[in-house]
Chains A and B, each alone.
Chain A
Amino acid sequence: MKILNPIIAIVFCFTTIAMTQSDRKERVQDCASKSGEGAIYLKEFVVSLPKVTKGERPPMYRQAIILRGNNIYRFNLCNDKGQSIIRVYDSSNMLVSSYDTKTHKEYNPINFLCRKTGQYNIIITFKDGKAGEAVGIMSHVMK
């Protein structure tokens, strides 16, 4: 029985990892399938953020990425928990946001016609600083 315990624990560990990886792949594939016509999957952003704590800054997910000029990129979000917002920044300015803070309108998916090859930042947060889980997909849109 004493010998069995560590074996069970190790099997449990590997099973958990395998299930987590499989679950992640399914979530990503499912979200990529919702990116719409003409979109070819490029990258995923799997995000899980805690809720903001009082007096602290809201958490966010950040990923630096290269985008190429004269390409159309599509960003779509699939929320498992909370309402995620994706934004694209160049070195200093916000270029794209899936949520318009003035009109409270959501855009999912959202297209971005990039005209300058270079480094950009993908930022994902959850509305009102709530905890959330989401998958974001970046796709290439065929012209």
Chain B
Amino acid sequence: MIKNSSLLLVVLLFLAACGQRPSENLEVNMNDVEVGELQISSETMNDIIQNIASPIEVAALISSMNIPFSTSYLADPDNLSTNTTSFEMAYSLGALSADLGYLNIYEKTGTAVNYLSSINRLADALQIGQFFDFATIKRLATTSSNLDSLMFISINSFNNMDDYLRETDRSNLSALMIAGVWMEGLFLATQVAVQNSNEELKSMIGEQKLILNDLLLILNNYKNEEVIQGYIDDFETIKKIYDDVKITYEVGEPQAIEKDGMLMVIQSESSHVMMSDDTLQRIIQVTQEIRNLHMNI
């Protein structure tokens, strides 16, 4: 009986331990929330910040500018070495996810199959393949039957893989995966900028200075790992050029407009990027060199 009870206790503890991580419950005075005086330390934010690099946001912006699709911006998954470390695989997984986002946004789902296979292989090797529903994504991509579902499952799989890496104490790989997404997104934007002079695109490239700072803060947590230090060095090279980019802010109160029953809040506080053409050219060149280096191109 005692033996059975002990066993039950162990099982209950195991059940509690192996369940999903609960969402973060922080308590604040509701009045503080209402009046908008919430203060969160920058240290805490750096630990938990999300959406540093998104596999689709750069592609969506480029698409909204009516810039034609080109495969020349994309990495060739066949060029990826099969004999790599988990660090390199995590980085490549992020980069290919950004390329997949670009293909999906432009509805080039047939071309995406090569990328899906490579992502699936990398995910399996990193033991996160259970979050990448390869069969369903491939079916949706090849039949082009439901683009919304394809987009959802692709992005949701990426988020789940990233979450799982952090939950299983592999935040270093998560950081590299995010770094891969960011670098591929910057490469995509800069290559488009080579052929298209567009102020909005230029501004978006300039604002990456802010995101690069956050990304480096995260990567620097793992600088004692030699391979990650290599990535940090490369990203620092880009950061040095970004030091010449100036961003100013214009203060303003947000405005709300209601249209068709939906509220749109427009942020009046805005940022303005000042970046010379020479600086842009240097960012384009160095981004290309570093991106190609890590993608074996």
Contact = CB atoms under 8 A, between A and B. Distances in A.
A59 B204 contact: no
A78 interface: no
8 contacts: A13-B11, A42-B54, A43-B51, A49-B25, A70-B204, A95-B265, A125-B30, A140-B54
Nearest to A124: B23
B63 A111 contact: no
Interface in A86-131: 87, 89-90, 92-96, 101, 107, 109-119, 121, 123, 125, 129
Interface residues of A, number: 74
Contact of A70 (B25, B200, B211): B200
Nearest to B252: A115
Interface string B41-81: 00011001111101011001101100000000000000000
B262 A107 contact: yes
B195 interface: no
Given A46-B23, A70-B203, A142 B64 contact: yes
Contacts of A17: 18-20
Interface in B235-268: 249, 254, 262-268
B207 A59 contact: no
B38 A64 contact: no
B225 interface: no
Contacts of A6: 7, 11
Contacts of A62: 24, 26, 40
Given A42-B54, A111-B262, A68 B36 contact: no
B26 A9 contact: no
A89 B155 contact: no
